[in-house]
Amino acid sequence: MLTENDRKIITDSIREIPDFPKPGIVFKDISTVLNNAQAFGLLMDHLKERYSNQRLDFVAGIDARGFIFGAALARDLGVGFVPIRKKGKLPYTTVSEKYSLEYGFDEVEIHIDAFRGVKDARVLLIDDLIATGGTAFAAANLIEKSGGKCVESCFIMSLDFLGGSEKLEKIAPVYSVLGEA
Ligand code: AMP
C-alpha cells in the first residue's frame, strides 16, 4: 500500500509543462519520476505488490512511456513484456486497431504472436496516463484480438474529466495509481 507520504513523493516528482505540445495542454512529464530513484522505486514497489498475486502471464505497454514502466514491472513480476506500438514500427506480422483523434485517426499494432500461443493469456495493460482513453481502448482491443485477456489497465495518473477511464471500464477494470492528475 502507498502511504500518503509515498503518494506525495511520487506526485511531486511529476513535472508539469504548460502549453506542450500545443497551447492549452498541460503536459505531465514523467522523466522527472524516472530520474528520481526514490519516487520511481516507490512506484515500482507499489505496482509489484499490487500485481504479484494476479497470475499475470504478460505485461503489455503502450508506445512509448508505457514501455518504461511496463518492462520494469514485467521484470519485477517474472513475466514477459509485450510492446503495443504506433503503426509501422513492429517488424513482424501485426494485428492493428484504428482509433479517432480530435482530427483524423491513429493506429496501434501488436505482433500476431505476442503472447507466444499461451491460451487466454492474462495480460496487464500499462501506460503513464489516460486522457480520452482512445489509445488504451484500442490497445485493450488489440490484446483481446491477439488471443489475450486484458485483466486490468493500469496508469500512473488519469485526466478523469476527459472520461477515458469510464470508457475503458467497458473492456477491463481500470486502475490509476495517483488518480486525477
Ligand atoms: P488518450 O488516448 O487521449 O487517452 O491519450 C493517452 C496518451 O497520450 C498516453 O500515451 C499519454 O502518454 C499521452 N498524453 C495525453 N495527454 C497527456 C498529457 N496531458 N500529458 C502527458 N501525456 C499525455
Ligand 1 site residues, Cβ closer than 6 angstroms: 25-28, 62, 65, 127-136, 164
How many Cβ atoms sit within 10 Å of the Cβ of residue 155? Answer: 28
The residue whose CA is least distant from atom 16 of ligand 1 is 131
pLDDT of residue 137: 97
Residue 12 within any structural domain of the chain: no
User: Please, what is the end-to-end C-alpha distance for the chain in angstroms?
Assistant: 19
pLDDT of residue 5: 98
Mutation probe of ligand 1 site: the residue of 29, 63, 129 with most atoms within 8 A of C-beta: 129
Mutation probe of ligand 1 site: the residue of 63, 102, 135, 171 with most atoms within 8 A of C-beta: 135
Residue 103 within any structural domain of the chain: yes
15 is catalytic: no
Report the percentage of the chain scoring pLDDT > 70. 100
The count of residues in the chain is: 181
Q: How many domains does the chain fold into?
A: 1
Q: Read off the pLDDT band of 178 (50, 70, 90).
A: very high
Q: Is the dihedral of CA 138, 99, 146, 170 positive or negative?
A: positive
Residue 25 within any structural domain of the chain: no
CATH number at residue 67: 3.40.50.2020
The atom of ligand 1 lying closest to the CA of 133 is 4
Residue 31 within any structural domain of the chain: no
The residue whose CA is least distant from atom 17 of ligand 1 is 27
How many Cβ atoms sit within 10 Å of the Cβ of residue 84? Answer: 29
**Grid cell listed for 71:** 518492462
Residue 36 within any structural domain of the chain: no
**Mean pLDDT throughout 87-115?**
95
Q: Read off the pLDDT band of 150 (50, 70, 90).
A: very high
pLDDT of residue 9: 98
**102 pLDDT above the threshold of 80:** no
Long-range contacts: 68-76, Cβ < 8 Å, 24+?
68/30, 68/34, 69/43, 69/44, 69/126, 69/127, 69/128, 69/156, 70/126, 72/44, 73/44, 73/47, 73/48, 73/124, 73/126, 76/44, 76/47, 76/48
What is the per-residue pLDDT across 25-54, written as a single tens digit (0 to 9) for each? 999 999 999 999 999 999 999 999 999 999
**1 pLDDT above the threshold of 90:** no
Residue 85 within any structural domain of the chain: yes
How many Cβ atoms sit within 10 Å of the Cβ of residue 29? Answer: 15
Report the percentage of the chain scoring pLDDT > 90. 97
CA of 7 to the centre of ligand 1 (A): 21
**Mean pLDDT throughout 94-122?**
95
pLDDT of residue 82: 99
CA of 97 to the centre of ligand 1 (A): 17
Q: Read off the pLDDT band of 181 (50, 70, 90).
A: confident
pLDDT of residue 101: 86
65 is catalytic: yes
Domain housing 159 = 54-176
Residue 155 within any structural domain of the chain: yes
Average pLDDT, rounded, for the chain: 97
SS3 64: coil
Residue 121 within any structural domain of the chain: yes
**90 pLDDT above the threshold of 90:** yes
pLDDT of residue 103: 82
Contact 91, 110 (CB under 8 A): no
The atom of ligand 1 lying closest to the CA of 134 is 2
Contact 9, 38 (CB under 8 A): yes
The residue whose CA is least distant from atom 12 of ligand 1 is 129
